[in-house]
C-alpha cells in the first residue's frame, strides 16, 4: 500500500504566484499522488492538506476470477482514494473536504496504467486517466 500525506501553510499576505496549488491531472495524465478528477489549478490557497492511498492487488483478483490471460500476463488491479482541502484566508476553497476514489489496471503492455476515478465531491463525475 502506498500512502502520501502532504500539507502546507503560509503566513502574511502572499502574491498569487506564491499560493499553494493542489496537484491535479494534466491532460488526462495522472500519476499517484495527484487529484485525478480536478482541473489544473482548480484548488489553490495559503494552506492545504491532502492524503492519498493506493493499494496494488497485483494479479490476485484475476486469479480469483479465473481469468488466466490477465494474471499470466502480469496485469495489475489497483484501487485508490484521495481526500484534500485547501484554504485561502481561512475560507475553504474546496467547500469542505474534497474526495475521489477509483480503480485502475496497471502494467498494460508492461508500462501503461489506466484509471477510472469517481469525483465524490460536487460536481460529481467520472474521469478516465493514464498514469
- Residue 72, judged by CB atoms within 10 A of its CB (0-12, 13-18, 19+), counts as exposed
pLDDT of residue 17: 82
Cell numbers that stand for 93 in this block? 476553497
Q: For residues 129 and 56, what is the distance between their CA atoms, to the nearest angstrom?
A: 17
Cis peptide before 123 (omega within 30 of 0): yes
What confidence category does residue 69 fall into, taking pLDDT thresholds of 50, 70 and 90? Answer: confident
DSSP code of residue 12: S
User: In 3D, which of 23, 29, 28 has the Cα closest to residue 42?
Assistant: 23
Instruction: Look at the pTM and tell me if it is higher than 0.75.
Output: yes
pLDDT of residue 56: 96
Amino acid at each position: 500500500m502506498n500512502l502520501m500525506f502532504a500539507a502546507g501553510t503560509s503566513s502574511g499576505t502572499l502574491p498569487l504566484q506564491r499560493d499553494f496549488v493542489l496537484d491535479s491531472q494534466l491532460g488526462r495524465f495522472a500519476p499517484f499522488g495527484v487529484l485525478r478528477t480536478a482541473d489544473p489549478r482548480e484548488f489553490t490557497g495559503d494552506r492545504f492538506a491532502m492524503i492519498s492511498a493506493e493499494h496494488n492487488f497485483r494479479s490476485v483478483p484475476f486469479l480469483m476470477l479465473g481469468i488466466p490471460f490477465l494474471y499470466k500476463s502480469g496485469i495489475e488491479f489497483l484501487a485508490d482514494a484521495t481526500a484534500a482541502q485547501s484554504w485561502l484566508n481561512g475560507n475553504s476553497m474546496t467547500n469542505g473536504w474534497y474526495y475521489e476514489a477509483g480503480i485502475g489496471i496497471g502494467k498494460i503492455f508492461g508500462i501503461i496504467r489506466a484509471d477510472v476515478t469517481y469525483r465524490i465531491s460536487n460536481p460529481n463525475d467520472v474521469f478516465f486517466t493514464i498514469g
